[in-house]
Amino acid sequence: MVATAMPKLEAFGGLTSGTGESRGAIGLDRPNRQWDYPFGWAPQQMLAWIGFMRFGFEAEAQRLTYKWLHMITINFNVTRPIDPHKVEAEYGNQGSDFEGVAREGFGWVNASYVYRLQIVNGDMKCALGACVTYEIFVKATESLNMQT
């Protein structure tokens, strides 16, 4: 399943909630929904990470984690000095300007960020702080013979 489904669902920011093919054409009779492809969903990410880790797919869990954290870091400015614990993100297509989002952030996105930031290694944290993509991070660690 990992070898078959992962290439279809993995994207720049982690896992998508489906594929373009499964979503189908967007139209008046099939409008795009907030969790449709190409968007991801924080609880889905967390469940996937835990499942991968429990079944021995640690590298996959780390890669997806890094991609998710990187996507949130670069898109939602989580490094604000006044409240650095806050993750300003919502559903994949809404952003934080949506009126229904609480000022303190959205619970499961905040939780996904804080939870996995506690688990990634120090090199990953430094790379995330510099907004380095996963691909560049891997190339850098490989060139230094480091383990990701």
Average pLDDT, the chain: 80
Please report, rounded to a whole number, the percentage of residues in the chain having pLDDT higher than 70.
78
pLDDT of residue 93: 41
DSSP for 66-135, please give it: HHHHHHHHHHH----TT-TT-----STTT-TTSTTS-TT--HHHHHHHHHHHTTS-HHHHHHHHTT--HH
pLDDT, greater one: 25 or 104 = 25
Distance of alpha carbon 1 from alpha carbon 26, whole angstroms: 28
* CA 38 to mean position of chain CA atoms: 12
Q: What angle do CA 46, 51, 55 make, to 5 degrees?
A: 155
Encode pLDDT of 123-142 as tens digits: 999 999 999 999 999 999 99
Task: Give the pLDDT score at 132.
Answer: 93
Query: CA 44, CA 15: separation in Å to the nearest integer?
Result: 8
17 DSSP 8-state letter:
S
Mean pLDDT of 90-107: 51
pLDDT, position 103 = 56
Quote the DSSP letter at residue 45.
Answer: H
